[in-house]
Amino acid sequence: MGGLRAREAVQNKAKREAVQEKAKRASSVSSITENGVTSKAACQPLTFIFARGTTEMGNMGSVVGPPVASALASLTNNQVVVQGVDYPASVEGNAELGASGGPTMASLVKQAISQCPNTTVVLGGYSQGAMVVHYAANQLSSGQVKAAVLFGDPLKAQSVGKLSSSAVKEFCAVGDPVCENGFNVMAHLTYGSDAQSAAQFLVQAAGVSS
């Protein structure tokens, strides 16, 4: 009887620790800086690489990158590695149409695949970061990236590398002057509300289940 109780106690402790670890990972995947690829985090079925918008802090920003990462963690039971793109994201960089961060993003994709051959890589970008995705995708081979979500994309009329249109989801708020030639500057700051929808699209496109 005592042995049974001891085993149950050990099992319950293990369950609590597992729950705590999942909660810890879920809370950590919502930071303005994420370096899952460069820090060689444990391989997961899904890898999400994101490029922030102009002048945003960290390498994920705050408007939409962290909310999408958090939603992905929830939908996949934390089976996702998240990496932000370290690039200047300066105002002047907009004129480069993604060239200031595209090569870095493409390199991160290749690193993720090299480290974790069985992972599925998906991309995301907001505003100038969306142009970074376009640039990176044009440098990658077919099959290296499974899908992409873009928010307030200045280049939304263009294709995203070799990805089919069904593998790309564009979010462009009504009145957004960046992606729709609108006049509502505040509309460009609303994409956090699309995080859940974007994450669901990526999970479905990647074929990853919790």
- The residue ranges of every structural domain in the chain are 31-206
Is residue 190 pLDDT above 50, yes or no? yes
By CB atoms closer than 10 A (0-12, 13-18, 19+), residue 81 is buried
Please report which confidence band the pLDDT of residue 23 belongs to, taking 50, 70 and 90 as the band edges: very low
Instruction: Identify the pLDDT of residue 209.
Output: 73
Query: Quick one: average pLDDT of 176-190?
Result: 94
Active-site amino acid positions: 127, 176, 188
Q: Which residue has the higher pLDDT, 18 or 165?
A: 165
pTM attached to this predicted model: 0.86
Kindly tell me the number of DSSP H helices and DSSP E strands found in the chain: 5, 5
Report which of 152, 142, 207, 156 is spatially closest to residue 175, judged by C-alpha positions.
Answer: 152
By CB atoms closer than 10 A (0-12, 13-18, 19+), residue 3 is exposed
In the chain the first and final C-alpha atoms are separated, in Å, by 36
Query: Quick one: average pLDDT of 55-65?
Result: 97
Please report which confidence band the pLDDT of residue 16 belongs to, taking 50, 70 and 90 as the band edges: low
Is residue 142 pLDDT above 80, yes or no? yes
Domain 31-206 has CATH 3.40.50.1820: yes
State how far the alpha carbon of 126 is from the alpha carbons of 59, 88, 132, in Å: 12, 14, 9
Rounded to 5 degrees, φ, ψ at 126 are -120, 125
The CA distance from 197 to 210, in Å, is 16
The CA distance from 55 to 196, in Å, is 24
| Token reading at 82 | 């998240």
Is residue 123 pLDDT above 90, yes or no? yes
Please report which confidence band the pLDDT of residue 1 belongs to, taking 50, 70 and 90 as the band edges: low
